Amino acid sequence: MRPVAVVGIGKTAFGAFPDRTLRSLAVEAGEKCMADADVSPSQIEAFYLGNFAGPSFVGQNHLAPYIAGSLGLTGVPCTRFEAACASGGSAFFHAVSSVAAGLSDIVLVVLSNTVSALVNQMLEHKSAIAIAGSAFLVSMGVYFAFFKKAHLPTDAEGNMIRFRKRDMARIFASGFIINTLNPGVILFWLGNATVLSVDHTLQERVIIFSVCLLINMAADVAKVMMAGKLRSKITLRALTIVNKISGSLLIIFGLALVLFSREIMH
């Protein structure tokens, strides 16, 4: 095995770029790298691309040659490596192994990932998503307002269940974990992280997410602490009213989404 050296580097700015594609970002980084190494595309003997979920996010299964062609690389092997968060490291490892083994002398490694492309694809179908979301909200609202039956949990003898302090702690912990691992919550944070990265620095985003997390935890604690005090005042009639109010709010939000989607289409 012979020694291997990195003779050039290049990178793009990190952030959300709605007007940029994965290929354009990869090409920019690759061209900067070749310029830094004072190497021309004709001298590159192999191309290695590290990319996570590119076919799903950008709808292109032929990413390595797709990007290499735009970099001016022709007649050389082009390989894409998929290893989740280690995709770039995997591509770099195989590139180093190739040079160390003497298969190539000069190779180009590019890591290019874009999640904002998935957001852009969703925005292209925002009208359909809005209609589907409104239908879901309205249907859930109708269920809560007209069909959901209110009931109070009781033990085997028919007595109202009383919660101890350790029960409240267990409920809080399980509820917080479920909320944190909820796929909908994860997608919500992912979408907001993409949007916030446009106008906010990393430090500002950390502060925003920390405050939101603390508010969420405080709300969970408040709900558990107040549950015991409010329990004696909860009756079947009160629960029925709460269900009807909740259902009405869901219907209102659903109808608002329908109006919003119509404005989008027009």
Rounded Cα–Cα distance for residues 74 and 181 (Å):
45
pLDDT at 186: 61
Q: Is the pLDDT of residue 56 over 90?
A: no
Pick from 93, 77, 91: nearest CA to 26: 91
pLDDT, one tens digit per residue, over 24-41 is 999 999 999 999 999 999
Q: Cβ distance 70 to 130 under 8 Å?
A: no
59 contacts: CB under 8 Å, gap ≥ 6: 121
Greater model confidence, 205 or 87: 87
pLDDT, one tens digit per residue, over 61-107 is 889 999 999 999 999 999 999 988 899 999 999 999 999 999 999 99
pLDDT at 148: 81
Rounded Cα–Cα distance for residues 41 and 34 (Å):
8
pLDDT at 139: 87
Q: Cβ distance 95 to 46 under 8 Å?
A: yes
DSSP states along 183-243: HHHHHHHHHHHHHHHHH--HHHHHHHHHHHHHHHHHHHHHHHHHHHHHHTT--HHHHHHHH
pLDDT at 85: 84
Lowest pLDDT segment from 4-8, 166-170, 188-192, 217-221: 188-192
Q: Helix, strand or coil for residue 14? A: coil
H/E stretch holding 79: strand 78-81
Is the Cα torsion angle 216, 193, 260, 126 positive or negative in sign? negative
Query: In angstroms, what is the C-alpha Rg of the chain?
Result: 27
* 128-165: burial string, b at 16+ Cβ within 10 Å, e else: eebbebbeebbebbbebbeebeeeeeeeeeeeeeeeee
pTM for this entry: 0.51
194 contacts: CB under 8 Å, gap ≥ 6: 16, 115, 116, 119
Q: Is the pLDDT of residue 110 over 70?
A: yes
Greater model confidence, 131 or 54: 54
pLDDT at 6: 96
Give, as one character, the DSSP assignment of residue 143: I
pLDDT, one tens digit per residue, over 138-168 is 888 888 888 887 766 665 565 656 666 666 6
Q: What pLDDT band is residue 262 in, cutting at 50, 70 and 90?
A: low
143 contacts: CB under 8 Å, gap ≥ 6: 247
For helices 22-37 and 63-70, give the axis angle rounded to 10 degrees: 50
pLDDT at 99: 96
Lowest pLDDT segment from 9-13, 80-84, 231-235: 231-235
Q: What pLDDT band is residue 254 in, cutting at 50, 70 and 90?
A: confident
Q: What domains are defined for the chain?
A: 22-114 (3.40.47.10), 119-265 (no CATH)
